[in-house]
Amino acid sequence: MNKTNNILILINITFFLYYSAQLLVFTNEFTIKNLGSFNHAIAGLSEIIGIIFISLSISLFIILKKNIRGQLPIFMTILLIQLLIFLNFLRYIFTDSPGETTINSILANTIIFSLGLINSLIFIYKNFNELK
């Protein structure tokens, strides 16, 4: 793989590790700050999402060490996750209904997910033939 691919994958690894740390290590603070409230159901869901994110970052790290050939399904999964979460955040912004959190917190997360989404789109577009 070339340096550009390595950088794009490292950006996604960093993105997922940041959110997994937020969701796993700082579950209480993260849910209160970003979701506005805390209960065990929200904490449990946050931890499950954190586990998924750390699993994706480990997968990307293994791909970084091995090869991207034939890895289109994992990259499409990452793209789809980032797209759906980005669209969900946009829904809160456009309806101006952030719930018990602030619109600024949702906007910050929307920007971060949009950057991850753009990163994934660039990577898939640049490497589509090799990923198949």
Residue 81 has pLDDT above 70, yes or no: yes
The per-residue pLDDT for range 68-77, each reduced to its tens digit, is: 999 999 999 9
The per-residue pLDDT for range 6-26, each reduced to its tens digit, is: 999 999 999 999 999 988 887
Both tokens of 97, joined, read: 């209904």
Query: What's the whole-number average pLDDT of the chain?
Result: 90
What residues make up the domain containing 100? Answer: 3-131
pLDDT of residue 14: 96
pLDDT of residue 25: 85
CB-based burial, 35-63: b 16+ in 10 Å, e otherwise? beebeeebbeebeebbebbbebbebbeeb
Does the model's pTM come out above 0.95?
A: no
Greater confidence (42 vs 12) lies with 12
The per-residue pLDDT for range 53-70, each reduced to its tens digit, is: 999 999 999 999 999 999
What's the total number of domains in the chain?
1
Residue 118 has pLDDT above 70, yes or no: yes
Residue 36 has pLDDT above 80, yes or no: no
Residue 127 has pLDDT above 80, yes or no: yes
